[in-house]
Structure 1
Amino acid sequence: MSFIPWDSLTAMFYEQSAKLGDKPLLFNKKDGEWQSLSWKEVTDKVTQLAAALEKMGVEAGDRVVLVSENRPEFMIADFAIMSIGAISVPTYTTNTARDHLHILENSKAKASIVSTKALARTFLKAAHQSDDMQHCILMEDYQIEQRLNVKIYHWDTVVDAEVPNTAKYAEKARSVSRDDVACLIYTSGTGGAPKGVMLHHGAILTNSEGASNVIHELGLENNAFLSFLPLSHAYEHTVGQCWPIGLGAEIWYAESIEKLATNMAEAKPTVMVVVPRLFEMLRTRITRTIQKEGGTKAKLFERALELGMKVQRDKQKLSFFEKLENWFLTRTVRKKINQQFGGRLKALVAGGAPLSPDVGYFFSSLGLPLLQGYGQTEAGPVISVNPPSAPRMHTVGKIFKDVEVKIASDGEILVKGDLVMKGYWRDEDATAKTIVDGWLHTGDIGQLDDEGYLEITDRKKDLIVNDKGDNVSPQRIEGMLALEDEISQAMVYGDRRPHLIGLIMPDVEWMADWAKKHNKPRKYEELQEDADFKKAIGEAINRVNGRLSNIEKVRKFSLATEAFSIENEQMTPTLKLRRHIVCEIYKDTLEGMY
């Protein structure tokens, strides 16, 4: 089986539905039980909602905002919008009313679809102020006490209406071309006001085709995806929703990140779209659990890891007796770990942030194929991914088929192909700066090796230049620090300075264990002043320093407060704006360390 080169996402959906009919497509949990919707049932709901939007006056090219967590209704709404040629505008569920208003004013959306009461409460404050927003469909009952400038509908009343002629929308899907805009994905705003990335059908289909070509060796049939990353992000939207539909796969919606482990065991996914931070935490938990149990179990685990590293990382051959030993460990230790992930995993595709090679080798040594990829929203978003049969953990893999990549004279990665966005919505200046002569300027620094593997070294605007003019990559150092058991988050600083200094946020679990073991106060505020505690953190930093060059070593450090943890701002540790915010918070502390 191969991925069919459809002309549009909607043509793909309707053709797959006609072929797969009564087979299950979407799964979610209600009242403690998993419930499924077949391809036919989903298609009926898509066409019902599409017809309702048409009655509201939504036409081809109009924008429809979608505010929802991951659930079946998200996919239904997304494809209903595209079925009438309109443009879907998924937004972050963490948006404030001000964020929503910016998107409404920029996109000039005519209609909206919102899931929960809490999300509706925030969104409607913005919708009421918008001159263009006319209609809002709510998935849940919500009592509106004040008259709004927006007409409110309930999901059940518009979706449970009589099923319209599905053939009409299937036929309309054929008129949509690969060049037509499918959705506007707004950037998180870390580089200024959020910009609407115009992703056309071809960009997402190119991503899907490329992903299929890479994992073809693992089998493209009988797949199940577990969706838990936000569908408002291009990564999950493309790889966790559109690609599975093209494969004819099942999509299971996780209940929450807290219940992810339980959901994996129940859904038994074959593919998961993940972020590195999740597996950094899982590695720490798995290792600590095994160490606490000790005994034979710990020894077998360490041996499985040792032999796996010998093959995966060191590329060495096993002796005859090591092969027998490894065979036994695969059927015991590795099998048990794999069962915790459902027992059917073919690939864990990591993206969205840098993956430490150590983390990748750790999981691959235990029989879990963790494949790092690379991309950005403006490229649909995936540009490359490691092949399962020959991953190189220090790289982000090989470039997708029919995608061109070249390295500019200053080291910047440039990308060309059908995956590149149409531009930023209503922002010609930003578009002209980002796409030059058809080449997408990614802002990332990297290099291609002789076999076509791409390695990312840093962000173009995020290099630290010390007082001697040396360029230092903070991303690499921060990633190494965060892998130490003692450290949860780290930021290094040293632009135009003689050496690097660090801000460290200790790991909560390690901190609690350390305090108990050494009979110290449990409160972080008190531990911050404890000399022994600081010494323990310093030892972790020194371990990392031992693997760094002189200009990369962290010479001094300070312990950060909870203000350092700003994960919910959707900023990765190496983004310049995040570094600026943290530096402002700790300005006096940083100056005091020099």
Structure 2
Amino acid sequence: MATASTDTVAIMAETPLALRFLARCDRFPDSVAYAVYPTGARTPSRVLTWGEWRDASLACAARLLAAGIEPGDRVAILAGNRLLWPVVDVALQLVRAVGVGLYPTSAPAQIVALLQDSGARLLFTDSVAHVAEIRAASDPAVAGIAIVVDAARDGEVVPFTAWCDEGARLLRDRGATTKLEARIASLVPDDVAALIYTSGSTGEPKGACISHRYLAASAASIAEVLRIDGDDRSVSFLPYSHAAERIFGQCTRMLSGMSAALVEDPTDVFRVCEHFQPTVFGGLPRLFERLYEATEIARATGSDPRDAISSRIGPDVRLATSGGAALPQRVAETLDALGLPILGAYGQTEHLCIAMNRVDAIRFDTVGTPMPGTTVRIADDGELLVLRSALTFSGYWNKPDDTRAAFTDDGLWLRTGDQAALEADGALRITGRVKELIALSTGRKIAPLPIEAALTDSPFVAHAVCHGEGRKFPVALLALRRDMVTAWATAQQLSLPWSELTRHAALHALVQEQVDRVNAALARTDRIQSFAITDAEFSVAGGELTPTLKLVRRVIDTRFAPVFDALYAAAARPTGDA
């Protein structure tokens, strides 16, 4: 069993984060909270101070009360990285409503299903296209939802600016102000503040109930580990509908006073960093892989790899954090050697702050030690368990059976579903998913995650998928890092279309070397017997990746079934040897 300090986290959890937010805004009203960078912009279009954020959220909150929103009512937000998100999210916390985040990339049927599941009374969105999709569904379960749009009036919805302007007018009335003050004063830590739907990489999304206590405790735990304060600058570019940006990002900023660049288009993140010059940079592994690729290309062309980093994220980053999926060890080690320490972290929507590396004790082969307020142990079957605490979710929305199954029989320990090992120094090593074990026809069970992580330690492999359920041996499907492969091809004086390049014998030989290195460290029964390279690039839009860039195995297994079948068929064919 391993634990970390709990006193500070427990104390901070007793006060809802929204109240600490108001106090900070009163103390530092003129300090910058957000600098907004529209799509393609190199400079911000506007700056939002803490005082302006407070005033906008209070106006929105007053209008919510006028609309009849009661404590516990669900209100959905379907928007990209725009000011609508932090303004509305804080307003919902203040009036004790439950904010339901929806991914803007979701299909119309998924949006309608989650609106129906949550029972949302009101929807805020930044797109009239989303409005049209919802109306077109003609689903009676969502027909009565009022919609507020951060766009021009279309006759059927309320513009967001008009909504907030009306709220500001209401606050000039003492009665409305008194009503809002009373609602804010009634906030209690165990109220549900948010529904965060899990990404559904292994099944249908479930709404995780997140309390005000969870938000406050998580922000305190993160801020303590990262030693963040109001002088720090960060970048907001991940979806707010996911726990990473909503809690690790926004809630930590609300507590610490750290400012942020609000990047409307995530593909602009490096361009924005060059101007905004953050001191802290949090991202998913793919962002750091792109930095790594840039440094390798710089080396190959005789440039300084450090310049490749600073030209993309600025010169002032003192630390970076990576979560959502495993960061290849080669990537982490290379960037650290070039002056960019990356703290690998591990958590889940159900308990975001499980473990993280520390600045003074970085290990690239583990996810670090438990975070403040978190206690872990390893079950007899190897599953990682997390002691229920202020940092743990309250259960799944309207799913009591799933909630019970998420904990041990005594209700005290959260089942993460991950297999793990606890190192002598207290660091956690994630070794696989309990439900993602591959059962070979021989009875042997293989954990694919460590093998896949080792395969992506190659500079050329972006994603690896092990396959072998019910088969005699495992095989792998590999998707490549296009920039790295293209740079290699240029050096080899190969000028071929991408689909031909991925089939080139010399490239296959390079990848085979990595497969051989991985196999050398595996038991004979676990070795990859054959592999295929796809010219497809896995993506969220394509369905192969979740919004946090984890593999969606059921999609890949189905889509590439002919490829896997061909690998086994080739292995079964006689070789012609006597």
Q: TM-score, normalised by structure 2?
A: 0.87
Please name the residue that 2:237 is paired with: 228
Query: Cα–Cα, structure 1 residues 209 and 516, in superposed 2: closer, same or farther, change >3 Å?
Result: closer
Q: Shift in Å at residue 408 of structure 1? A: 0.9
Q: Is it true that 1:93 corresponds to 2:104 in the alignment?
A: yes
Aligned partners of 2:28 and 2:138: how far apart in 1? 39
Aligned length: 547
Q: Is it true that 1:384 corresponds to 2:355 in the alignment?
A: yes
Please name the residue that 1:134 is paired with: 145
Give unpaired runs (5+ residues) of structure 2.
1-7, 572-578
Most deviating of 513-522 and 219-228: 513-522
Query: Cα–Cα, structure 1 residues 213 and 95, in superposed 2: closer, same or farther, change >3 Å?
Result: same
Aligned partners of 1:498 and 1:588: how far apart in 2? 13
Q: Is it true that 1:74 corresponds to 2:46 in the alignment?
A: no
Q: Is it true that 1:430 corresponds to 2:435 in the alignment?
A: no
Aligned partners of 1:453 and 1:508: how far apart in 2? 34
Contact kept in structure 1, 2:396 and 2:403, CA below 8 Å: yes
Q: Is it true that 1:580 corresponds to 2:557 in the alignment?
A: yes
Contact kept in structure 1, 2:43 and 2:275, CA below 8 Å: no
Question: Quick one: which amino acid aligns to residue 508 of structure 1?
Answer: R
2:329 is aligned, of 353, 357, 363, to 357
Q: Is it true that 1:14 corresponds to 2:52 in the alignment?
A: no
Deviation sequence 1:435-454 (CA, Å, 0-9, x none): 23132111000122233211
Most deviating of 432-441 and 368-377: 432-441
Contact kept in structure 1, 2:475 and 2:529, CA below 8 Å: yes
Aligned partners of 2:500 and 2:280: how far apart in 1? 44
Please name the residue that 1:239 is paired with: 248
Question: Quick one: which amino acid aligns to residue 134 of structure 1?
Answer: I
Query: Cα–Cα, structure 1 residues 426 and 502, in superposed 2: closer, same or farther, change >3 Å?
Result: same
Aligned partners of 2:137 and 2:237: how far apart in 1? 27
Aligned partners of 2:471 and 2:283: how far apart in 1? 36
Query: Cα–Cα, structure 1 residues 250 and 531, in superposed 2: closer, same or farther, change >3 Å?
Result: closer
Q: Shift in Å at residue 587 of structure 1? A: 4.6
Contact kept in structure 1, 2:230 and 2:259, CA below 8 Å: no
Please name the residue that 1:55 is paired with: 66
Query: Cα–Cα, structure 1 residues 565 and 220, in superposed 2: closer, same or farther, change >3 Å?
Result: closer
Most deviating of 426-435 and 565-574: 565-574
1:43-192 mapped onto 2 (5 Å cutoff): 43-126=54-137, 129-131=140-142, 133-141=144-152, 143=154, 152-161=157-166, 162-163=168-169, 164=171, 169=180, 172-192=183-203
Question: Quick one: which amino acid aligns to residue 251 of structure 1?
Answer: A
Deviation sequence 1:472-518 (CA, Å, 0-9, x none): 33212222222323323221223344433221223323443455555
Please name the residue that 2:288 is paired with: 279
Please name the residue that 1:261 is paired with: 270
Question: Quick one: which amino acid aligns to residue 279 of structure 2?
Answer: T
Deviation sequence 1:152-180 (CA, Å, 0-9, x none): 21111111233516676455333211111
Q: Shift in Å at residue 259 of structure 1? A: 1.8
Query: Cα–Cα, structure 1 residues 284 and 549, in superposed 2: closer, same or farther, change >3 Å?
Result: farther
Q: Is it true that 1:492 corresponds to 2:466 in the alignment?
A: yes
Aligned partners of 2:469 and 2:390: how far apart in 1? 38
1:592 is aligned, of 540, 560, 569, to 569
Please name the residue that 1:417 is paired with: 389
Query: Cα–Cα, structure 1 residues 239 and 508, in superposed 2: closer, same or farther, change >3 Å?
Result: same
Q: Shift in Å at residue 128 of structure 1? A: 5.9
Contact kept in structure 1, 2:76 and 2:123, CA below 8 Å: yes
Aligned partners of 1:512 and 1:347: how far apart in 2? 30
Question: Quick one: which amino acid aligns to residue 62 of structure 2?
Answer: A
1:547-586 mapped onto 2 (5 Å cutoff): 547-562=521-536, 568-569=542-543, 570-571=545-546, 572=549, 576-584=553-561, 586=563
Most deviating of 472-481 and 528-537: 528-537
Deviation sequence 1:356-405 (CA, Å, 0-9, x none): 222222222211120011111111x2211111111122111111222221
Q: Is it true that 1:28 corresponds to 2:36 in the alignment?
A: yes
Aligned partners of 1:564 and 1:363: how far apart in 2? 24
Contact kept in structure 2, 1:63 and 1:107, CA below 8 Å: yes
Report the secondary structure of 1:395's partner residue.
Answer: coil
1:394 is aligned, of 331, 342, 365, to 365
Question: Quick one: which amino acid aligns to residue 373 of structure 1?
Answer: A
Q: Shift in Å at residue 261 of structure 1? A: 1.3
Aligned partners of 2:537 and 2:26: how far apart in 1? 52
2:512 is aligned, of 538, 545, 566, to 538
Question: Quick one: which amino acid aligns to residue 565 of structure 2?
Answer: D
Aligned partners of 2:526 and 2:190: how far apart in 1? 46
Report the secondary structure of 1:562's partner residue.
Answer: coil
Aligned partners of 1:280 and 1:174: how far apart in 2? 46
Aligned partners of 1:539 and 1:443: how far apart in 2? 32
Q: Shift in Å at residue 468 of structure 1? A: 4.5
Aligned partners of 1:275 and 1:243: how far apart in 2? 17
Deviation sequence 1:94-147 (CA, Å, 0-9, x none): 111111111111111110100123333334445864357431100011536xxx
Q: Is it true that 1:372 corresponds to 2:344 in the alignment?
A: yes
Aligned partners of 1:44 and 1:132: how far apart in 2? 31
Please name the residue that 2:314 is paired with: 342
Query: Cα–Cα, structure 1 residues 20 and 62, in superposed 2: closer, same or farther, change >3 Å?
Result: same
Q: Shift in Å at residue 25 of structure 1? A: 1.1
Question: Quick one: which amino acid aligns to residue 195 of structure 1?
Answer: K
Question: Quick one: which amino acid aligns to residue 256 of structure 2?
Answer: L
Give unpaired runs (5+ residues) of structure 1.
145-150, 302-332
1:290-301 mapped onto 2 (5 Å cutoff): 290-293=299-302, 297=304
Report the secondary structure of 2:418's partner residue.
Answer: strand
Aligned partners of 1:204 and 1:43: how far apart in 2? 18
Identity %: 27
Q: Shift in Å at residue 91 of structure 1? A: 0.6
Aligned partners of 1:566 and 1:40: how far apart in 2? 36
Aligned partners of 1:496 and 1:12: how far apart in 2? 54
Deviation sequence 1:227-279 (CA, Å, 0-9, x none): 11111101110011011110011121124233211211211212222111211
Aligned partners of 2:340 and 2:495: how far apart in 1? 39
Q: Shift in Å at residue 578 of structure 1? A: 4.4
Query: Cα–Cα, structure 1 residues 199 and 359, in superposed 2: closer, same or farther, change >3 Å?
Result: same
Question: Quick one: which amino acid aligns to residue 286 of structure 1?
Answer: T
C-alpha RMSD over aligned residues: 2.7
Contact kept in structure 1, 2:42 and 2:275, CA below 8 Å: no
Query: Cα–Cα, structure 1 residues 361 and 577, in superposed 2: closer, same or farther, change >3 Å?
Result: same
1:512 is aligned, of 478, 486, 501, to 486
Contact kept in structure 1, 2:452 and 2:466, CA below 8 Å: yes
Aligned partners of 1:27 and 1:566: how far apart in 2? 27
Report the secondary structure of 1:413's partner residue.
Answer: strand
